[in-house]
């Protein structure tokens, strides 16, 4: 989605189906339709607009906004981010680094890496960069204690979650953002879990708004309608539907933190997005789904427009927001962030510029990009 207009450049869902089977003249139609409806993987569901998922840690952007707008948190407010958060008696809540540490211990390794050690003392933007669960639990709990238990839900709704984007032409689900009833509800909501449901399209809409400085645009699918000859009968223009209720200064703090997620060596997406050929900002998310592996999220936007003098490929391309969700596959940083990177590469260069880490060893050696119609060459093996 273009961040400055809401124009949707591409939308895809998998698994898919062959729409030709609905052609009544197709002799295989009835048989194939019967097969389609027997499938259990819901190919008819357009996951981009109708898929409803917990947002996981991408939601921390909204919790951070709510915390700052409440006046209870400043960007420079510090928090000691350790493995555990125990202010609620129902259970010990863990940071994601704790699980990474457990995984390392089980394989006989020490917890001495950036992703297996607690983040330690962090400011608010550093907490977002590190996706520190205890910090965001604490923001939720502090809001609850100050009779502001609906602040996060209200902020989420103001970001466009829990309601239709208004895209039109295609069916969309509205998701769910409910007002939390208990401290446990608030704390779970603060990290994008609990009973919340959002669609990838809703997320693209607010990520685009973060990219453009705060304006929410209705996602636009139709550019214009033309008769056979002559001028168009209808031309559709970008339509702003709202503004993120965050002061410009605080919005900038969030934007800077999203850059650090990618650029800082301790950022959760740094490892997988290193080498992205243009500047980007974003947030990882790993959302517990209730069964199986978690859903992997990455949501981000490009920051090309303002640096076009340094990056020639940025010159004629509007900045875009991209949202990637993969169901029941694992960590957002491991699965969704690399696909975000590929999308960026294809948008700016027309072809992938690198091999993704999970392709190595499966798809063979890296191919260098084809230079102006030349023949790809294999990278020499060591």
Partner 1 sequence: MEDALAGKHGGALYVVNPSTGQIATKVGESEPQPSQSVYLTWTVTFKPTLKNPSRVFAAQWS
Closest approach of partner 1 to the CB of residue 261, in Å: 20
Which two structure tokens, joined as six digits, stand for 350? 């027309």
**Residue 130 or residue 218: which is nearer to partner 1 going by CB?**
218
Cα–Cα distance between 219 and 8 in angstroms, integer?
6
Least spacing, CB of residue 125 vs partner 1, in Å: 30
Choosing from 181, 233, 291, 381, the residue that interacts with partner 1 (CB under 8 A) is 233
Strand partners, 368: none
Among 11, 55, 88, 262, binds partner 1 (CB under 8 A): 11
Cβ closest to partner 1, residue 121 vs residue 346:
346
Residue 243 contacts partner 1 per CB under 8 A: no
Task: Please tell me the distance from the alpha carbon of residue 366 to that of residue 368, in angstroms, as a whole number.
Answer: 6
Among 92, 121, 222, 243, binds partner 1 (CB under 8 A): 222
- Angle at CA of residue 161, ends 43 and 137, nearest 5°: 110
How far is CA 44 from its chain centroid?
A: 23
Task: Single out the residue of 91, 112, 169, 291 in contact with partner 1 (rule: CB under 8 A).
Answer: 169
Spatial separation of the C-alpha atoms in residues 252 and 155, rounded to whole Å: 17
When the beta carbons of 158 and 167 are compared against partner 1, the nearer one is: 167
Q: What are phi and psi of 298, to 5 degrees?
A: -145, 130
For residue 266, which of 151, 118, 70, 93 has the smallest C-alpha distance? 118
Site for partner 1 in 311-340 (CB under 8 A): 339
Give whichever of 263 and 345 is closer to partner 1, judged by the CB atom.
Answer: 345
Nearer Cβ to partner 1 (121/360): 360
C-alpha span between 5 and 238 (Å, rounded): 5
Are 58 and 203 a contacting pair, CB within 8 Å?
A: yes
Task: Decide: is 12 part of the binding site for partner 1 (CB under 8 A).
Answer: yes
**Residue 18 sits in the site that holds partner 1 (CB under 8 A):** no
Could you say which of 24, 312, 362, 381 contacts partner 1 (CB under 8 A)?
362
Q: Look up residue 223 and give its two tokens.
A: 């550019």
Q: Least distance to partner 1 from the beta carbon of 229, Å?
A: 10
Which run of H or E residues covers position 133? helix 133-145
Which of 27, 71, 89, 227 forms a contact with partner 1 (CB under 8 A)?
227
Among the listed residues 96, 144, 206, 347, the single contact to partner 1 using CB under 8 A: 347
377 vs 329, 358, 365, CA distance in Å? 32, 21, 10
Q: Can you give the binding site for partner 1, defined by CB under 8 A? A: 7-12, 14-16, 169, 220-228, 233-234, 339, 342-343, 346-347, 350, 352, 356, 358-359, 362-363
């Amino acid at each position: 989605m273009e961040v400055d207009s809401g124009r949707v450049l591409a939308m895809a869902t998998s698994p898919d189906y062959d729409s030709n089977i609905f052609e009544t003249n197709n002799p295989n139609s009835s048989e194939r339709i019967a097969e389609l409806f027997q499938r259990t993987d819901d190919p008819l569901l357009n996951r981009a607009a109708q898929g409803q998922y917990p947002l996981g840690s991408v939601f921390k952007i909204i919790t951070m906004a709510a915390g700052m707008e409440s006046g209870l948190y400043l960007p420079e407010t510090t928090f000691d981010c350790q493995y555990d958060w125990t202010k609620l008696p129902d259970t010990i809540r863990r940071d994601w680094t704790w699980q990474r540490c457990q995984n390392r211990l089980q394989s006989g390794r020490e917890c001495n890496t950036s992703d297996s050690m607690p983040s330690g003392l962090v400011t608010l933007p550093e907490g977002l960069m590190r996706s520190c669960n205890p910090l965001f639990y604490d923001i939720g709990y502090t809001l609850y204690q100050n009779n502001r238990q609906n602040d996060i839900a209200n902020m989420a709704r103001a970001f466009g979650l829990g309601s239709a984007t208004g895209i039109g032409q295609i069916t969309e689900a509205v998701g769910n953002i409910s007002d939390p009833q208990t401290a446990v509800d608030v704390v779970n909501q603060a990290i994008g879990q609990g009973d919340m449901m959002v669609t990838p399209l809703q997320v693209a809409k607010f990520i685009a708004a973060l990219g453009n400085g705060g304006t929410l645009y209705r996602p636009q699918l139709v550019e214009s309608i033309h008769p056979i000859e002559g001028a168009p009968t209808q031309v559709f223009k970008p339509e702003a539907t709202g503004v993120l209720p965050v002061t410009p200064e605080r919005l900038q703090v969030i934007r800077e933190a999203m850059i650090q997620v990618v650029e800082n060596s301790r950022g959760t997406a740094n490892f997988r997005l290193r080498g992205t050929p243009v500047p980007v900002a974003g947030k990882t998310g790993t959302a517990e789904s209730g069964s199986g592996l978690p859903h992997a999220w990455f949501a981000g936007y490009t920051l090309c427009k303002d640096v076009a003098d340094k990056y020639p490929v940025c010159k004629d391309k509007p900045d875009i927001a991209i949202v990637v969700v993969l169901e029941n596959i694992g960590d957002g940083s491991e699965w969704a962030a690399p696909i975000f990177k590929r999308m960026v590469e294809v948008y700016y260069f027309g072809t992938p510029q690198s091999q993704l880490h999970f392709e190595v060893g499966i798809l063979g050696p890296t191919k260098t990009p084809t230079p102006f119609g030349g023949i790809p060459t294999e990278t020499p093996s060591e």
